[in-house]
Chain A
Amino acid sequence: MPEQLQPARPVEEAPEFGPVVIRVAAEVLETMFFEEALPSACEHAWLAQAVSAQLSFEGSHCGEFLLSVPPGTARSIAAGFLGVDPEEMSETQPGEVILELANILCGALMSTLWPESNLSLGTPELVSAEHSFPAAMHCCFSLPEGMVAVSIALGSRDAA
């Protein structure tokens, strides 16, 4: 998390976060990635090996968005998005597709959580860190091939 961000606000600020993430993720994944997302209990043992994409957002809200998936799930999502067999993909394509998924999912979540907001999204980047946002809004859901974890940490740049 960038230094200028203040600690994230409590999860209670968006009590509908989990259901909203599931609904928006299901729409994004089914429409553009041809995957079915289902609610799931949080389970984080896999996060140490996850493919993670992070991007910042700023405007009427500011903070960080983090998406993590296991490597095998990343390949499966990428194959669905590109319409190819997982074996046909290059080594970098799964990561590139996860960056796109993070970008699309973050944009869709922002406009659902805060429809009147005026936000600008940063460029997503692959990160190797485990989920580490303190007190972030967080949700896990599952795809047929594995888990997906989504976190949002809200902060205030002007309060720094």
Chain B
Amino acid sequence: MAFSVLIVDDSAVMRGFIRRVLTLSGFEVGECLEASNGEEALARLEGHSVDVILTDINMPKMNGEELLRRLETDERLRSVPTVVISTDATKARILKMLSLGADGYMTKPFSPEALREELERVLGARNA
């Protein structure tokens, strides 16, 4: 089964890297959408449904924290698993993002295998 993914990051090269490692990891990717901030992500989600959202935290216009808050208040979107990908490895930040509704948290650097494992974990948990 191929999964549709939304990658939210203000860096085009990081979005390209994530898209690439998803393929390298063997994770079956169907449609792969991209957005450069939370606002753009919500606009993308108006016309599409995705299986999982991967989001950065620090982004202009709408950051990852606000995106999680908005997803949690949306009846249709709150059930979509979300994984935060960030350089911030502090416990306080991780706990905050999880409390806002993130299902997983990946700290950079991460390997393709680690990303796949995390995606399988959150998708499995939501579908259990």
Binding site for B on A (CB under 8 A): 27-28, 31-32, 78, 81-83, 93, 96-97, 99-100, 103-104, 106-108, 111, 117-121, 123
Tally of contact residues, B, Cβ under 8 A: 19
Chain B 70-110 interface 0/1 with A at a Cβ cutoff of 8 Å (1 = within): 00000000000000001111101000000000000001111
B89's closest neighbor in chain A, by CB? A111
B11 to A99, Cβ gap below 8 A? yes
User: Can you spell out 8 A-B residue pairs with CB atoms less than 8 angstroms apart?
Assistant: A32-B109, A78-B13, A82-B20, A93-B13, A103-B87, A104-B108, A107-B87, A107-B88
Interface of A is mostly: helix
Binding site for A on B (CB under 8 A): 11-14, 16-17, 20, 58, 86-90, 92, 107-111
User: How far apart are the CA atoms of A100 and B13 in the complex, in Å?
Assistant: 8
A32 to B110, Cβ gap below 8 A? yes
- Tell me which of B12, B16, B17, B58 contacts A32 (CB under 8 A): B17
B16 to A104, Cβ gap below 8 A? no
By a CB distance below 8 angstroms, the chain A residues around B20 are 82-83
Q: How far is the CB of A125 from chain B (nearest CB, A)?
A: 13
By a CB distance below 8 angstroms, the chain B residues around A117 are 90
- Tell me which of A96, A108, A119 contacts B108 (CB under 8 A): A108
User: How far apart are the CA atoms of A70 and B7 in the complex, in Å?
Assistant: 31
A31 to B13, Cβ gap below 8 A? no
Number of A-B contacts (CB under 8 A): 56
A100 to B14, Cβ gap below 8 A? yes
By a CB distance below 8 angstroms, the chain B residues around A121 are 58, 87-88
B58 to A123, Cβ gap below 8 A? yes
A82 to B13, Cβ gap below 8 A? yes
By a CB distance below 8 angstroms, the chain B residues around A78 are 13
B109 to A100, Cβ gap below 8 A? no
Q: How far is the CB of A96 from chain B (nearest CB, A)?
A: 5
Known: A31-B110, A93-B13, A99-B11; 20 extra A-B contacts, CB below 8 A, are A27-B109, A32-B17, A81-B17, A83-B20, A97-B13, A100-B11, A100-B13, A103-B87, A104-B108, A104-B109, A106-B87, A107-B86, A107-B87, A107-B107, A107-B108, A108-B89, A108-B108, A111-B89, A117-B90, A120-B88
